[in-house]
Chains A and B, each alone.
Chain A
Amino acid sequence: MVSVRLENVTKVFGKTRAVDNVSFTVEDKEFFTLLGPSGCGKTTTLRIIAGLVEPDDGNVYYGDRLMNNVPPEKRNVTMVFQNFALFPHMTVYDNIAFGLRMRGWSKSDIDKRVREVAELLRIRGLENKYPHQLSGGQQQRVGLARALAPQPEIILFDEPLSNLDAILREQIRFELRDLVKRVGITSIYVTHDQAEALVVSDRMAIMRSGRIIQMGTPKEVYERPNSVFVAKFLGIATILEGRVEEKSDEGYRFTLAGTGHTLRVAHSFVEPGGKGFVVIRPEYVTLLRIDEEPDENILEGRVEKATFLGSTIDMNISIDGIVLRTFVKATEMEVREGMEVRVRLSPEKLVVVPPED
């Protein structure tokens, strides 16, 4: 098994900088995710790692080995594709065996290995079927089996679940992570689905326009986004404009534009005196009873909209012209539209990010 390192990798198509000076390291056996909107360069990055695309600039290492001039068939890496890319003229068996045949395995070894991975992915019995005779979920399993069969050191996933329906997608993503963790393969996973990225990754990188703009564990990136883009892209957030006033031991003072309310926020990517945006996740907002003692970071407003979602209620609270989004447990309190409420924003969770340029 092996780590993967990209060093200042750049790829330009015509005028598009598909991958723009990207560097990162994926540790041995780590599950690493590239997350970003459509067209941000995720697939191109993955194809560069695989050797299917030659970078214009920069280096790719597997462990300490420079891979730039190694063709894909000589790299010990496999890939799972968005549209599965199963060979339509081959049976499931031949699809799974393809990589083994190309690597010159003996017939009996191939037999044994195909049976093994078919069992692992619970697709025994489908061996003699053709891809078009399988359901989407089955095709995806065959694609995964085919990628695992040659025992690669690195496995690449290009939005492998995006062609499946929502329920299947949720099931398979846990299974998929478990599987590669169990086998112990370095995994690089591409998706534009933030929920998926949060669930499967050890670490993740957020990409935008060919660049990586933030990297870290899902918790780190979720809780401390470094930009409006990341805050909006990952999870739900109310993002409010304002100014960072001063720094103290307990964080920063932040004035909300328009309302004059000040908040204490623990973290800021903006220096005092600068303009910025405070990121307020729904779970950082607590509803207070009217009689509770005033504390800091208290705002008063009115419930503008309350949507019953089953276990929770999704609320928009209007406060002096700004709208704050939050959820409360349906059992916790009775919420009516038009109701006056006071909310507290947990200062140690709040982050101020710089304005977009």
Chain B
Amino acid sequence: MRGAPLTRAGIAILTLVIVVFVLLPIFTVFLWAFSERWPGAKLFPEAFGLKWFRLLIESGALVQPLTYSLIIAAIVVVASALISIPAAYVVGVKRFRGREIVESLALMPLIVPPIATGVGILGYYTQIGFKSNIWAVASVHLIGAIPFMFRSLAAAFESVDPALEDAARILGAGRLRVLRHVYLPLITPGLLAGSVFAFAWSLNEFLLTLLVGLPDIVTLPVQIFRYVGGYYIQVAPVSALSVILLIPSIIFLVLSEKYIRAEFVPGAGVKG
């Protein structure tokens, strides 16, 4: 029972960290975003309303960036899934030798500083004139999205009994139909988990988006930095934008509680 106080202390610290760095900031952001009138001396706003959202919409600072963000995120989800499925199948099902190497290679993009790759990519994107459009931005988002998607899918494929593929083949299904009728339905939880992470990654990505997207492609995070990056910080409109940015995360959080099993979330207790 010597571990009990330690466990309690650990949980307390974890809770504190979550409160200070996640819940409290989000609470503050919501306060700012929905404040109608908030004199400086007061602890809470005097009135709540949608003033800042209206302002953002009228100034054109919301709709266009949001549209770009969502379209790009959708492209990133689909593309990362299409790219990851074959690789995840090979790693998860075929268990070939060297799969550990492939798995860690797939995580490389998350470790390498994006500024390094970003500048390099910018170099040759500029040379071939592939810049300042949603495809260019989506393509750099894939660098971060694929590792998440791949991990989730590989774990999902690994959880499928390999005998099912044999059974389906024997019963007359070619490889494609095995994928469609057996694997796809069974990896859906992993696909959802991967999509959530890929989507969230794309939605939040800032640095590479800035490098490759400007001047024409301004996504939500880039727009936010326009407000906070200057000589003064406009907290209220930034908060309103941040709330918008939070909505998909909240939706996914709720969805994932219902549909996603923890074992397909990258790094969440996946065996091995």
Contacts and interface: CB of A to CB of B under 8 A. Distances in A.
Check if A and B associate.
yes
Interface of A: 47, 50-52, 71-73, 77-79, 81, 83, 85-89, 98-99, 102-103, 146, 150
B182 A87 contact: yes
Contacts of A51: 169
Q: Which 10 A-B pairs have the closest CB atoms?
A: A102-B172, A99-B171, A85-B163, A85-B167, A72-B169, A89-B185, A73-B172, A79-B170, A102-B173, A103-B172
B166 interface: yes
Nearest to A76: B172
Contacts of B167: 79, 81, 85-87, 146
Nearest to B171: A99
B170 A50 contact: yes
Contact of A85 (B164, B172, B173, B185): B164
A168 B173 CA distance: 32
Chain B interface SS verdict (over half): helix
A78 B168 CA distance: 10
B172 A52 contact: no
A142 B173 CA distance: 19
Nearest to B174: A73
A241 B172 CA distance: 53
B166 A47 contact: yes
Contacts of B166: 47, 50, 52, 72, 79, 81, 85
Contacts of A150: 171-172
Contact of B173 (A73, A78, A86, A146): A73
Given A52-B169, A72-B169, A87 B164 contact: yes
B95 interface: no
Nearest to B186: A89
Contact of A98 (B163, B171, B174): B171
- Size class of the B contact interface (CB-based, 8 Å): 10 to 19
Contacts of A79: 166-167, 170
A99 B178 CA distance: 12
B170 A78 contact: yes
Contacts of B170: 50, 52, 72-73, 77-79
B163 A81 contact: yes
Interface in B155-192: 161, 163-164, 166-174, 177, 181-182, 185-186
A88 B186 contact: yes
Given A89-B185, A89-B186, A102-B177, A78 B171 contact: yes
B215 to A, nearest CB: 48
B167 to A, nearest CB: 4
A52 B186 CA distance: 21
Contacts of B161: 83, 85
Contacts of A98: 168, 171, 173, 181
22 contacts: A50-B170, A52-B169, A52-B170, A72-B170, A73-B169, A73-B170, A73-B172, A73-B173, A73-B174, A78-B170, A79-B166, A81-B163, A81-B167, A83-B163, A85-B161, A85-B163, A85-B166, A85-B167, A87-B182, A98-B173, A98-B181, A102-B172
